[in-house]
């Protein structure tokens, strides 16, 4: 149960974060418990997380702001272990270093800053930029299906309960995620595209070059990049063979004439 100080402080901070949300961050407390907050981070551009949707929790102690919250991220990111407490200077791993002047927005901005760095700590993991980009592309699907467990097609990770927890915490975002999956023909069971438009039917808008013409241009460009010998090696080989045979016949004729 929150102390009067914690309740008053968190109520004030909720109003502040609504009025002035930090870049790429949204957060709110649960209706049933002001000490438990959920946040959503939109992956910043020019990072491997661009386009990603990262959902997590902050659990504050009853005597906040004199002690920091426990911080977790539920969405697979390639940066943090899912649903594990993160060891940060702004988290409950380091209560003595926490500054009571820091607010929820300060904490989440610090989390995002740490996420986009490569510093390692308890709860963080290593991954390549390609892996993180792949996870970012699948993050909305993962959040709203619980990693596929919504349709019985995947295992549960953290709150991977068919997306029920995410749907409760973020009902409007969840609806948008499902619409995004329908629009992009994403299979809810595995997060993959169910159908792909045939290549022949695709054409850049405003372009008069069709697929066959494009293929021809690729061939021409490829041939132009090759040397004359590479482009005409069959003709050269044929000429060498013909010359060799002709020389052989001339030699035989001279020997026979002698």
Residues 6+ apart with CB under 8 A from 195: 185
34 phi, psi to nearest 5 deg: -70, -15
Quickly tell me which residue has 């990072």 as its tokens.
47
- Can you read off the two tokens belonging to residue 184? 């992009």
87 is catalytic: yes
- Can you read off the two tokens belonging to residue 114? 């740490």
Can you tell me the distance from the alpha carbon of 253 to that of 91, in angstroms, rounded to the nearest whole number? 97
Looking at the chain, list the stretches that DSSP marks H as alpha helix, in order from N- to C-terminal side. Answer: 4-19, 104-115, 129-145, 164-169, 171-183, 211-224, 228-231, 233-257
Nearest to 108 by CA among 76, 139, 68, 146: 68
- In the three-class reduction of DSSP (H, G, I as helix; E, B as strand; rest coil), residue 102 is classed as coil
* Active-site entry in 50, 59, 87, 164: 87
Nearest to 77 by CA among 105, 92, 99, 56: 56
Can you tell me the distance from the alpha carbon of 69 to that of 127, in angstroms, rounded to the nearest whole number? 26
Count of other CB atoms within 10 angstroms of residue 34: 18
Our CA angle for 172, 197, 43, nearest 5°, is 40
- Can you read off the two tokens belonging to residue 87? 């060891």
Whether the CB-CB separation of 207 and 196 falls below 8 Å is answered with no
Please list the active-site residues: 87
């Amino acid at each position: 149960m929150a102390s009067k100080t914690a309740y008053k402080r968190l109520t004030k901070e909720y109003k502040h974060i609504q009025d002035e949300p930090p870049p790429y961050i949204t957060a709110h407390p649960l209706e049933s418990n002001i000490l438990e907050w959920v946040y959503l981070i939109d992956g910043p551009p020019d990072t491997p997380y661009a386009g990603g949707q990262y959902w997590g929790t902050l659990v504050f102690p009853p005597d906040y702001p004199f002690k920091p919250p426990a911080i977790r991220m539920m969405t697979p990111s390639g940066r943090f272990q899912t649903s594990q407490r993160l060891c940060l200077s702004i988290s409950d791993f380091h209560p003595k270093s926490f500054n009571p002047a820091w607010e929820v927005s300060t904490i989440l901005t610090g989390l995002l800053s740490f996420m986009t760095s490569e510093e390692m700590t308890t709860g963080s993991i290593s991954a390549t930029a390609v892996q993180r980009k792949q996870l970012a592309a699948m993050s909305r699907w993962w959040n709203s299906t619980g990693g596929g467990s919504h349709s019985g097609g995947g295992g549960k990770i953290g709150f991977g309960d068919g997306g029920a927890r995410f749907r409760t915490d973020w009902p409007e975002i969840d609806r948008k995620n499902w619409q995004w999956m329908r629009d992009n023909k994403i299979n809810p069971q595995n997060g993959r595209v169910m159908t792909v438009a045939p290549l022949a039917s695709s054409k850049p808008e405003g372009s008069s070059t069709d697929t066959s013409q494009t293929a021809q241009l690729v061939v021409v460009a490829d041939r132009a990049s090759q040397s004359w010998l590479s482009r005409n090696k069959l003709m050269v080989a044929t000429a060498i063979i013909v010359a060799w045979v002709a020389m052989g016949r001339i030699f035989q004729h001279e020997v026979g004439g002698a």
